[in-house]
Structure 1
Amino acid sequence: MAQKGFRAKVQRFGSHLSGMIMPNIAAFIAWGLITALFIPDGYFPNEELASLVGPMINYLLPLLIGFTGGRLVYDIRGGVVGATATIGVIVGADIPMFLGAMAMGPLGGYLIKKLDDVFQDKIGQGFEMLYNNFSAGILGAVLAGISLKIIGPIINGITQVLIAGVEFLINVGLLPLANIIIEPAKVLFLNNAINHGILSPIAAEQSSETGKSILFLLETNPGPGLGVLLAFMVFGTGAARSSASGASIIHFFGGIHEIYFPYILMKPALLLAVIGGGVSGVFTYTIFNAGLTATPSPGSIVALMLMTPPGDHFIIALGVIVATLVSFLIASVILKASNSEGEDLSKATSQMEEMKGKKSKASDSLRGNEEQASTQQAEDVNKVVFACDAGMGSSAMGASLLKDKFKKADIEGIDVTNKAINDLTDEADIIITHKDLTDRAKEKIPSAEHISVENFLNSPKYDELVNRLKADE
């Protein structure tokens, strides 16, 4: 129980880190594209357009992160104070302040929330706007000053230590060993925390100076996962073998790495395959001094190629091929030597969803709530929302599956979408979550109907919902 509690805390912390970065990935990609295209060494050098690169990485991206971090804690009001607090660490540093933004954004949101808890109910009628504007303004100004004088220099020092550590690993040729930690962490659903919360901020600093960074490739290389899926296509049995081909397409071209996690959970020894693939891929990139201009998100081959600077496309592709080949060879040996190839993929997928959950509670009372929810009448259902931690991977696949079921059942006029739990709003009529995330979703939107599933990819709850809505037409 202690291990599960610790894992849940680490996952929740990782969720907050990645939750500040992932909603702003489009802005990172925009910066990466402008960098790749218009800097002096880019595809189409243009001095005027290249002038966007500095302000975007120094001001736009940290402010977006700070605003998002504050908004996660206390909606728009928290976002405004978080962004205001972030400007202090930006002005007081000579490097992009992503880590500072991830610290000051949530802090600003938290402090304005606590301030409102103390004073908001005591404000006289007619003075609400005065209090709201000046309390947030004064707190933002104070935090900006503290950030400039105190927090900024501290974060700047931490960042420099981290960068020096990464550069040391690169110089002594030990950077590939980082994947010994990264690959198992991915299967524990810490991939977003590691990539967007730790690697990307440091990589962005390196990219702003040299035009690329190898750190963007440590977690996002699709080769290790592809090698495992190919091995299942050749040496797997039953449902695992028949589903591996479709999963490989989703993983390699769609960039949804979560799709291969159940296959590793079926046979944990396959961790050796993805570790071997990850280490060999990064080793290849280290030899040829390869890197990307910005975070490839999702981690598909398409995103990797788009974020590759001129002249590095062959090396980036080679690293993916090497990682795939090494992972495939190790996984093939493991699968061929395995004496339990008849394991059920659906059982492993359920295990995957339990690993992804933020609480390890699947009590009988929760199941009772599921049954009660599934029997409720669907009156005026206009929007169904799938919610998971990041709002991109498994929830996106669940939403796509339900859309297809609605289409086949001729159910029209109901919007089906996916979101991160932190982004849920009360416009959702039905919210579908993994059973270990349902409590969080209920706390966020108690007014909606909540449906819990054990497996986003194949749940009988979907058919129950389709039949129920069809009967209500």
Structure 2
Amino acid sequence: MAGSKRAKVQAFGGFLTSIVIPNIGAFIAWGFITALFIPTGWVPNEHFAKLVGPIIVYLLPLLLGYTGGKLTGGDRGAVMGSIGTIGLIVGSEIPMFLGAMIIGPVGGYLIRKFDEKVEGKIPTGFEMVINNFSIGIIGLGLALLSFQFIGPVIQASNQFVTVMIEKLVATGYLPLLSIINEPAKVLFLNNVIDQGIYYPLGMQEALNAGKSIYFMVASNPGPGLGMLLAFSAFGKGMSKKSAPSAIIIHFFGGIHELYFPYVLMNPVMILAMIAGGMAGITTFNLFGVGLVAGPSPGSIFAYLALTPRGNFLGVIAGVVAATAVAFTVASAILKLQNKEVDDEELEMSMLRSKNMKKAGKALLSGEKATVNFIAFACDAGLGSSALGANAFKKKLNKVGIEKTVKNFAIEKVPQEADVIVVHASLEERAKMKFQDKRIVTIENFMEDPNLNDLYEELTTV
């Protein structure tokens, strides 16, 4: 039951991510414009600074509403989502990011349901009239509802959350957010808290201050770096061997999912992550620093690129502090555990056995499925899934096997896919969405027995 609930929350986070990720470039463009041209920017320019307000108030929410509407209602849904979002924008006094991520999909859903109801019932020659007027009439209602009721409600809710978090900042308790952030991230709920909470709050604060600490409270690459360094120095077996590669991809590539399996296989490591996260937030807070936009992916390069003038010392200090504290705590845990037996080999054997059992059942039942399209899926479709898909495709190409291997957000895996590869933590969520698909679960993005079995299956004639 708990796993099912987690899968649903992950699905919600993945849906939010599907709305935000296509528009990250626009957010970063706004961040650069802000960092460059506001009065405290690198090259203050009153003329160009006029772009800052309209982009964050109008363009960015409209893009989110458009994308959300398209996800649920196609091209017509995108138009509906935009109409509903403009009602929110005009009816409120804050940037309507969260509101756009709600009303956009609602608009798409409404027009999709209308289209389903009238399908096959429109008289010949009246299709264009019905299509255009349906969006016009339903869009009118949605815009008025957004302007009069939904916008003010979301604004009031947003202000309540903002006040609560600002009180944490004022009292010095902001680092306590790590107690929530770090476990949520390891359970692959990182997109829920980032895209759903911190990024909208950060954009609001950045509009006034030109930067925000909210962009940094859950995205700091320091804690993950510190823990992986500890595994590199004091780990055993495969965890020690794979940690150096994971460090490069996590810290420089910004794919934080690489360190999640290390915590999942040794849950007490969450203490190191929380301690590192708290150290980083405390340091950021002491220096009074922030970023101009959300770092996506959470690479050190993205951090530095989005750091405004005068904030580099504090930003770097926060990352270093988080790394040092996480490394110290994780090293102490590994030394105290001092495991003589590496349990990972047993776990890998059990996973391999489970996979072979599935293959045996298929063989006994006379099934012989042809695998031509392998989809690697994660929340955003840009991090761990991209890493896994590229590595697996290269491995196949080396032996002269041509297969379609692509990475997707889990909501966007096409029906043509023969096999879907996901992390074990996303297995329930994948089964909920793809009940008729073969799903391969993995524990480690770098080297996994289930991926090896799939590779052997595809390369054995």
What's the TM-score once normalised by structure 2's chain length? 0.90
1:389 counterpart = 2:379:
yes
Give 1:432's match in structure 2, choosing from 400, 404, 420. 420
- 3-state SS of the aligned residue for 1:103? helix
Give 1:376's match in structure 2, choosing from 369, 383, 404. 369
In structure 2, the CA distance between the partners of 1:130 and 1:42, relative to structure 1 (3 Å rule), is same
Q: Distance in 1 between matches of 2:164 and 2:279?
A: 21
In structure 2, the CA distance between the partners of 1:399 and 1:128, relative to structure 1 (3 Å rule), is same
In structure 2, the CA distance between the partners of 1:347 and 1:90, relative to structure 1 (3 Å rule), is farther
Q: Distance in 1 between matches of 2:14 and 2:410?
A: 10
In structure 2, the CA distance between the partners of 1:5 and 1:440, relative to structure 1 (3 Å rule), is closer
1:272 counterpart = 2:271:
yes
Higher mean alpha-carbon deviation, 91-100 vs 271-280, is at: 91-100
Measured against aligned partners, the alpha-carbon deviations of 1:191-235 in whole angstroms (never above 9, x if no partner) come to 011011111001100000000000000111011111110111111
Contact conserved, 2:291 with 2:303, CA < 8 A, in 1?
Answer: yes
- 3-state SS of the aligned residue for 1:121? coil
Q: Distance in 2 between matches of 1:290 and 1:237?
A: 38
Query: 2:304 matched to which residue of 1?
Result: 305
Indicate the RMSD between aligned Cα atoms, in angstroms.
2.7
Contact conserved, 2:252 with 2:299, CA < 8 A, in 1?
Answer: yes
Q: Distance in 2 between matches of 1:371 and 1:151?
A: 57
Higher mean alpha-carbon deviation, 458-467 vs 237-246, is at: 458-467
Query: 2:189 matched to which residue of 1?
Result: 190
Higher mean alpha-carbon deviation, 34-43 vs 232-241, is at: 34-43
Higher mean alpha-carbon deviation, 140-149 vs 66-75, is at: 66-75
Query: 2:52 matched to which residue of 1?
Result: 53
CA positional deviation for 1:421: 2.8
Partner AA of 1:463 in structure 2: Y
Higher mean alpha-carbon deviation, 97-106 vs 434-443, is at: 434-443
- 3-state SS of the aligned residue for 1:51? helix
Partner AA of 1:69 in structure 2: G
Q: Distance in 1 between matches of 2:39 and 2:360?
A: 60
Contact conserved, 1:230 with 1:248, CA < 8 A, in 2?
Answer: yes
- 3-state SS of the aligned residue for 1:47? coil
- 3-state SS of the aligned residue for 1:337? helix
Partner AA of 2:313 in structure 1: F
Contact conserved, 2:362 with 2:368, CA < 8 A, in 1?
Answer: no
CA positional deviation for 1:22: 2.0
CA positional deviation for 1:68: 1.6
Q: Is there any run of 5+ residues in structure 2 with no aligned partner, and where? A: none
Query: 2:440 matched to which residue of 1?
Result: 453
Q: Distance in 1 between matches of 2:376 and 2:265?
A: 25
In structure 2, the CA distance between the partners of 1:335 and 1:196, relative to structure 1 (3 Å rule), is same
CA positional deviation for 1:145: 1.1
Query: 1:416 matched to which residue of 2?
Result: 405
Q: Is there any run of 5+ residues in structure 1 with no aligned partner, and where? A: 353-361
Partner AA of 2:412 in structure 1: D
1:43 counterpart = 2:36:
no
Q: What is the 5 A alignment of 1:290-369? A: 290-340=289-339, 342-345=341-344
1:205 counterpart = 2:204:
yes
CA positional deviation for 1:433: 2.9
Q: Aligned residue pairs: how many?
A: 448
Query: 1:99 matched to which residue of 2?
Result: 98
Partner AA of 1:55 in structure 2: P
1:3 counterpart = 2:15:
no
Q: What is the 5 A alignment of 1:218-237? A: 218-237=217-236
Q: What is the 5 A alignment of 1:128-147? A: 128-147=127-146
Measured against aligned partners, the alpha-carbon deviations of 1:28-68 in whole angstroms (never above 9, x if no partner) come to 11111111122221112223322221111111110111112
Measured against aligned partners, the alpha-carbon deviations of 1:321-346 in whole angstroms (never above 9, x if no partner) come to 00000011111111001153644457
In structure 2, the CA distance between the partners of 1:370 and 1:6, relative to structure 1 (3 Å rule), is farther
Higher mean alpha-carbon deviation, 245-254 vs 44-53, is at: 44-53
CA positional deviation for 1:410: 3.1
In structure 2, the CA distance between the partners of 1:31 and 1:465, relative to structure 1 (3 Å rule), is farther
Partner AA of 1:467 in structure 2: T
Measured against aligned partners, the alpha-carbon deviations of 1:104-155 in whole angstroms (never above 9, x if no partner) come to 1111112222222322232223322222221122111210111111111111
Contact conserved, 1:263 with 1:348, CA < 8 A, in 2?
Answer: no
Q: Distance in 1 between matches of 2:152 and 2:127?
A: 36
State the identity as a percent: 48
Contact conserved, 1:74 with 1:113, CA < 8 A, in 2?
Answer: yes
Q: What is the 5 A alignment of 1:98-177? A: 98-177=97-176
CA positional deviation for 1:270: 0.7
CA positional deviation for 1:453: 1.2
Q: Distance in 2 between matches of 1:372 and 1:297?
A: 46
CA positional deviation for 1:399: 0.7
In structure 2, the CA distance between the partners of 1:42 and 1:240, relative to structure 1 (3 Å rule), is same
Contact conserved, 2:14 with 2:411, CA < 8 A, in 1?
Answer: no
Partner AA of 1:81 in structure 2: M
CA positional deviation for 1:92: 1.4
- 3-state SS of the aligned residue for 1:417? strand
Q: Distance in 2 between matches of 1:49 and 1:376?
A: 58
In structure 2, the CA distance between the partners of 1:21 and 1:343, relative to structure 1 (3 Å rule), is farther
Partner AA of 2:386 in structure 1: A
